[in-house]
Chain A
């Protein structure tokens, strides 16, 4: 009995202890409401406006810089899908799950990674620009101009490539599904943005150099508007509206009014020096334009080339000059094969080093100067004039045709040397990685004016010949539709307009080397498929015909 009484007393004390213990535990943790703490990011419940819209505008331009600077995605979708660029599979090189071949032969599908990337990238640009434009972000007029420009551009490119634009209203919850714009509604929206950009951006006169042209100006927005109006009939069907065409011409004249003009010295335009042609450029490294086509042994710069991108012989043949050779004389200026300036040439060696700004010395030569500008065909040479070899020790001679080892035409079993290479930017300056890539250029505006004139029944011959004269090309007697698209091809090679141009001139579906039979004459190929995963994510999207 004594025992159990003691137990009872203990129990009472212990119950107290239990109580105290649990109070203590509860006290220690009462602060735990499991709320997420704002420690290294600004947290909002849904979108509540941007903390610093100017900084987000920086980010928008950084995004565009990445998007335009890459040789994949945007560049590939606009150039590799055309006659201007082709990346054959070279043995085990450039197979890459067929993603390059499928762009060129028009066998892409809704899982194509580069198509998916562009869909995501340009739509994301739209969303971020919308966030800047939201009144809760308190954007400045400059912010409104920049964001309207980027949104107008991004939505137009989405329309141009996919025919549909999912538009997200940033005032709705993020779980709301975006509405889908197309046709006239899409164009109205885009043009309103571009007009907002024109009215909010300041004017930039020509010749200010790259630090000035890396942001959109009133002139860049006008160029964009002219471009959209020129293409409008592609999205709406029917024929070009003469009012639109006269607007295109007057917009180009407005741009010229700020001093923008055609300028001689074609390949100097693509150096990081001030010129009167550049309307909008980006600080994108030009390495991706340079090395994608060069052979591994073409230059020591940049660790050599990547030996991928080439052009079709038929595209090369658009230019004046010999079909097999495109050489320069030992002065590295004089064309030996009758080529026009824009076809550039293969130098017989390098330029002696003289300490010119931007160049570096390698064994007494300007490093990279043996590469040449424009189109590279046949034997290539080292700085000291030695003929270069490929990695297996054969002469490094770039060839017109794409064939396998048996000589049969092949897209997939090529060696290292097939295909003519193209160099728009030159590696000899600033180590081959100049951060200067042109996006909008006056020569394009000039040709847009010529085209608008032609589309409204006028004669563009003198406008086209103005350009040809400055480029040292023979004048054309009377400019035809084919001359117009060909001139655009020559002038704007590798400037990401080829797909857009071919579609507008009705030539995107014509046959070219390795194009799939099913794609020839197939207008469905003028739009890319909506990415498969997006159809699941947003039922308002309807897959484009043919996919």
Chain B
């Protein structure tokens, strides 16, 4: 074609979508570099357009439209949103890509695919949606902690959660709400994402292999979860959206416990005297402690795309009540996201800011609860003839659930501000620079009090005890990136270089008080806070601790810096509302400085190459091992672009990647230097005296401490047929984590029996992931699609010379008992215990004689039994059906190939329990177990955990609206969560992990059910309206 012969003309017009003008849409003359973008009003003008040329209109999230010019000078176009196209954009570290061009194992889930119902926290939105991503909330408690394992567990430390990045800010992942450790059930670890309003989230990307995560260097080993919040981009002319839900929850399952008459008969059966333990009442303690609860959530948002920019503001309010008494969570969130273009659209400035308050309350629940159990364990085992009477004194050191519940209070308040400001400037069409500044401040406080009217608890009865802890986490992020994007013939080059600095400051105070003048819980909390705060404010200068007891006439202060002063008198300029208090402060900062680069090269749109490298320096490590280098590389071959592949194959891509990532999570501040602080303080029972303590070494120097490193390989295959009507992917991976950071015993003598070091142990994870989706019906007014994912993971500890016991089993007579052991050649979370062979004729347990010494001993014959708590197979199935204005969706998930240790049965439901006049399940009466039989940890209480759950089912109706009225969209929906559970597990729910303790080893456990918080079954009514 010769230019000389072609008639050239100007073409102008307007680009809009269903809501009005669409600014920023790309208009390009096909086959040329002649292009422009639509302006604020959606208008565009193109010069020198050949009359037979074709214009290509495109905008992210919309279907691309091609229009032949055919001599027209005005071409107006209405673009249609393309759900599939939206999904195809994947946010990756420091940028975006599309599914088609991704070289790594990356999965994105967008708002359309999120789970519905009571969603207290963002990760629940994508639970089960992605192959190889195992998301478990540790219990059904509102705001409870989460466990997200991407491709198994690569570390033997307590935190195997991935790195969370919210709008570009990597979060520290640490708890932001201080614990209320009264020693008698406190707050569990709270979810670090609680502060985010799930309604504000647009998409969640999960980076799984090293080629994707290596750009996050020393924090990438456990995978990366990138959360992007909604912007106002897609809404023009100012839209309001309102969403409201009302949810009713009930415990999905409960224990079958003995009635009073069955209980008394049981006591008699085991040789007890029923009349001595019959208190005459008929109380269902399980009903007492659980409840049907109503929760609500309200969200109002305003979005406006005004051309040069867009704004979205939301206000959210959630109040969630748990199915156990005194457990609730209230969240108030505000968010403002603004983007604006300056300087001829060359400068894009964006601010994402959120402010939130979370108030939560928790009942006295404790994974580490001893023989009495926490309030749930106490309720399950409470004598059903005890009366409902908060002053009832059961004796025998037992806990009366009502007395316990009404005399305890545990409340926290957490405020958080997360602000991210960015400025991106396009120096040339190819070169962009971006500066990103983030600030994250979380201020939490917890007050936990145990009232003096509590019965049977030494040191608390008639005295009262309380803790008041504050925690402030502050993080700054400064990031600069340069992005160079250039088309070279049919090839494309994309280069990113960047610098990042982030610091994490943690400060706060842990205070305790004993000896209260009141048993009113609210008043106790006020007395404690006011005394602790007033005493603290009366101290000048820097200090570590302050305290007083009945043995002090003045406040005592321990100072550390600039010079050590022990037991300084600070006068008495405050009112002592509590007999004795102790307060200990902490304040430390970790820093992370990084340099990173990524190169993408797209050859012929057939071969894709990605290389990344990150250098990370961390102040958690000494000068000699401060910096680490994390490279990765990946190649992808788009076979579908090859001529030898037929047209019905819409996607066919082979991906191969390898990379090195690190992990320093859970290590904490200053573990490589020698540090001294004043030791812990305690208040004596009864006397309320506090003994002066001394300076102690709290950390020994470990100069060569460094992060653990994971070497990861991934081979993946993406496929799609018939315009991706059938699509899917398959990934095979292998990762090996070395230099395990672990708190192990150092060579004695040492001040701390455990010390962080890098140990010669490797954790191997290998597995295969498969995902497939098919659109069964693609009709005008009805669609039906299904997607299914399944993943297999295998885990093994290698090259470890030692053995570490973990997975504490708690309950009466079970101190020091455990169920899991870390050893080379085994999966982590491997069960290790005696093998139960039944009861002898007297009803005493028989154990297999593993060591062959002639007797089966529950301790001497402990062994690996070939079971572990990590599911081999996890699977999810989503079904979506639309007809006219109705939609129905259901989501099922399942986990297979793992075992659960029923600690609840071991600790509570044995003949030993009913012999002690504690309630049990009916099977105890018929199991053949005799009176006085011991119940050590054994396979007797180990069960298969395999389950299938209907996690979520929704029916929705979109009211057809003319669009002329006030409302532009209106939707009603009903969602059921946890509707059914198919499992052989005899406890309440096999998908429960209670943190029962690690025997001090720091090695986490999994799959131990010790009176876990009952999972609720929830029905949610939802209303969504736009106007």
Chain A interface residues (CB < 8 Å from chain B)? 7, 10-11, 14-15, 17-18, 21-22, 25, 28-29, 32, 34-48, 50-52, 54-60, 62, 89-99, 101-102, 107, 111, 113, 116-117, 119-120, 123-124, 126-128, 131, 166-168, 173-175, 177-178, 283, 285, 287, 291, 296-297, 300, 302-306, 389, 391-394, 404-406, 408, 410, 412-416, 430-431, 433, 435, 531-534, 536-538
Q: Which one of B286-294, B673-681, B1011-1019 contacts A? A: B673-681
Contact of A415 among B274, B501, B507, B915 (CB under 8 A): B915
Provide the bound-state CA to CA distance between A297 and B406, in Å. 24
**Is the pair A40, B677 in contact by a Cβ cutoff of 8 Å?**
yes
Please determine whether B813 and A94 come into contact, CB atoms closer than 8 angstroms: yes
Q: Which residues of B contact A533 (CB under 8 A)?
A: 744-745, 802
- Set B431, B501, B859: member contacting A29, Cβ < 8 A: B501
12 contacts between A and B (CB under 8 A): A51-B564, A51-B695, A58-B566, A92-B811, A92-B916, A95-B934, A97-B817, A124-B748, A124-B753, A128-B696, A166-B748, A433-B459
- A17 CB to nearest chain B CB (Å): 7
Nearest chain B CB to A368 CB, angstrom units:
12
Beta-carbon contacts under 8 Å, B688-747 to A: 689, 691-704, 744-747
Instruction: For A36, give its contact among B499, B670, B859 (CB under 8 Å).
Output: B670
Complex contacts, B482 vs chain A, CB 8 Å? 18
Asked whether A532 lies within 8 Å of B560 as measured between CB atoms, the reply is no
Which of B69-77, B242-250, B583-591, B887-895 has 4 or more CB atoms under 8 Å from chain A?
B583-591
Contacts of B694 in A (CB 8 A): 52, 54-60, 62
Given contacts A39-B588, A120-B750, 6 further A-B contacts (CB under 8 A): A51-B563, A51-B676, A116-B745, A175-B701, A303-B461, A391-B917
- With beta carbons under 8 angstroms apart, the residue of B273, B507, B748 that contacts A538 is B748
Beta-carbon contacts of B475-493 to A below 8 Å, as 1s and 0s? 0001010100000000000
From A91, A111, A177, give the contact of B933 (CB < 8 A).
A91
Tell me whether A128 and B751 are in contact in the complex, defined as CB-CB below 8 angstroms, given that A39-B588, A42-B561, A113-B816 are known contacts: yes
* B814 at the A interface (CB under 8 A): yes
> Smallest CB-CB separation from B844: which chain A residue?
A413
Q: Which of B435, B566, B693, B753 contacts A62 (CB 8 A)?
A: B693
Interchain CA distance A18-B591 in the complex, whole Å: 26
Judge whether B693 and A58 touch: CB under 8 Å. yes
Q: Mark B259-279, 1 if CB is under 8 A from A, else 0.
A: 000000001001111111100
In the docked arrangement, what's the CA distance between A190 and B673, Å? 30
Contact across chains for A22 and B457 when beta carbons are under 8 A apart: no
Docked CA distance A543–B847 (Å): 30
CB-CB under 8 A from B751, the residues of chain A are 124, 127-128
Which residues of chain B are within 8 angstroms of A35 by Cβ–Cβ distance?
619
Given A59-B695, A536-B802, answer yes or no on A98-B859 (Cβ-Cβ < 8 Å).
yes
Contact of B371 with A by CB under 8 A:
yes
Hey, which chain A residues are within 8 Å of B669, CB to CB? 36
Q: B238: CB under 8 A from chain A?
A: no
Contact indicator A430/B687 (Cβ below 8 Å): yes
- Is B538 an interface residue, CB under 8 A from the partner? no
Indicate whether B899 reaches chain A with its CB closer than 8 angstroms: no
Question: Chain B's nearest CB lies how many Å from the CB of A151?
Answer: 10
CB contact list, B542-589 vs A, under 8 A: 544, 560-561, 563-564, 566, 585-589
A95 pairs with B749, CB closer than 8 A: no
- B395 proximal to A (CB < 8 A): yes
Within 8 A of A (CB), among B774-814: 801-803, 805, 811-814
List A contacts of B697 (CB < 8 A): 47, 128, 131
B427 at interface, CB cutoff 8 A = yes
B817→A34 contact, CB < 8 A: no
Do B745 and A531 have beta carbons less than 8 Å apart? yes
Q: Would you list which residues of chain B between 441 and 478 have a CB under 8 Å from chain A?
A: 456-459, 461, 478
Would you call B932 and A90 a contact (CB within 8 A)?
Answer: yes
User: B397 near A: Cβ within 8 Å?
Assistant: yes
Which listed residue (B544, B593, B753, B844) contacts A120, Cβ 8 A? B753
Pick from B499, B619, B674: contact of A34, CB below 8 A: B619
Residues from chain B with Cβ under 8 Å of A54 in the complex = 566, 694
A-contacting residues, B400-442, CB 8 Å? 425, 427-428, 431, 433, 435
Contacts of B679 in A (CB 8 A): 59, 62
Is B338 in the interface zone, CB < 8 Å from A? no
Expressed in whole angstroms, the minimum distance between the Cβ of A82 and any Cβ of chain B is 20
A297 touches B396 (CB 8 A): yes
B750 near A296: Cβ-Cβ < 8 Å: no
Contact A39 B745 (CB under 8 A): no
Known: A28-B478, A42-B676, A95-B935. A90 touches B695 (CB 8 A): no
Partner of B844 from the list A17, A95, A404 (CB cut-off 8 Å) is A404
| Interface pair A34/B815, CB less than 8 Å apart | no
Tell whether, in the assembled complex, residue B691 and residue A283 are in contact, meaning their CB atoms are under 8 Å apart.
Answer: yes
Q: Is B818 an interface residue (CB 8 A)?
A: yes
Chain A residues whose CB sits within 8 angstroms of the CB of B933 once the complex forms? 91-92, 413
Q: Does B684 contact A (CB under 8 A)?
A: yes
Q: Is the CB of A102 within 8 A of B684?
A: no
When chains A and B are docked, how far (Å) is the Cα of A537 from the Cα of B857? 30
Q: B586 to chain A: which residues have CB within 8 Å?
A: 40
B931 close to A (CB within 8 Å): yes
Hey, which chain A residues are within 8 Å of B197, CB to CB? none
- Inter-chain CA distance A114–B49, complex, in Å, is 87
Q: Which residues of B contact A304 (CB under 8 A)?
A: 395-397, 456
Q: Which of B148-156, B905-913, B981-989 contacts A (4 or more CB under 8 A)?
A: B905-913
Question: Contacts of A11 on B, CB cut-off 8 Å?
Answer: 427-428
Query: When chains A and B are docked, how far (Å) is the Cα of A90 from the Cα of B371?
Result: 13
Q: Are B433 and A52 in contact (CB under 8 A)?
A: no
Contacts of A306 in B (CB 8 A): 397
Inter-chain contacts of B803 with A (CB < 8 A): 111, 532
* A539 nearest CB across to chain B (Å): 9
Q: Which residues of B contact A283 (CB under 8 A)?
A: 691
B626 touches A (CB below 8 Å)? yes
Report Cα–Cα, A393/B270, bound state, in Å: 12
B647 adjacent to chain A (CB < 8 Å): no
Contacting residues, chain B, for A40 (C-beta < 8 A): 507, 544, 560, 585-588, 677
What residues on A are CB-neighbors of B817 within 8 Å?
A: 95-97
> B686 contacts the other chain (Cβ, under 8 Å)?
yes
Chain B residues lying within 8 Å of A303, measured Cβ to Cβ, are: 397, 456-458, 461
Tell yes or no: B860 within 8 A of A by CB: yes
A302 and B458 form a contact (CB under 8 A) = yes
Q: Are B695 and A97 in contact (CB under 8 A)?
A: no
Whether A17 and B593, one on each chain, are in contact in the complex, defined by CB atoms closer than 8 angstroms, is no
CA distance A405 to B805 in the complex (A): 33
Tell me the minimal C-beta distance from A141 to chain B in angstroms: 18
- Among A7, A41, A297, A538, the residue within 8 A (CB) of B395 is A297
CB–CB A38/B478 < 8 A: no
Residues in A with CB closer than 8 Å to B398 are 296
* B427 adjacent to A18 (CB under 8 Å): yes
Q: Which of A60, A95, A99 has the most CB of B within 10 A?
A: A95
Q: A391-B917, A533-B744, A538-B748 are in contact. Are A93 and B912 (CB under 8 A)?
A: yes
Across the interface, which residues of B come within 8 angstroms of A51, CB to CB?
A: 560, 563-564, 676, 695
Contact A391 B931 (CB under 8 A): no
Determine the residue in chain A with the shortest Cβ distance to B808. A97
Task: Judge whether A34 and B591 touch: CB under 8 Å.
Answer: yes
Which B residues are in CB contact (< 8 Å) with A128?
Answer: 696-697, 751
The residues of B that contact A56 with a CB separation of less than 8 Å are: 694-696
Contact of A92 with B746 in the complex, beta carbons under 8 Å: no
Q: Is the CB of A536 within 8 A of B748?
A: no
Give chain B residues whose Cβ lies under 8 Å from the Cβ of A91. Answer: 813, 910-912, 915-916, 931-935
Return B864 CB to nearest CB of chain A, in Å.
15
Interface centre among B277, B677, B695, B844 (most CB of A within 10 A): B695
Minimum distance in angstroms from B431 CB to a CB of chain A: 8
Report B-chain residues with C-beta under 8 Å of the C-beta of A414.
Answer: 932
Interface flags, B481-513, vs A, CB<8A=1, else 0: 010000000000000000101000001000000
B670 adjacent to A41 (CB under 8 Å) = yes
Within 8 A of A (CB), among B638-694: 669-670, 673-679, 684-687, 689, 691-694
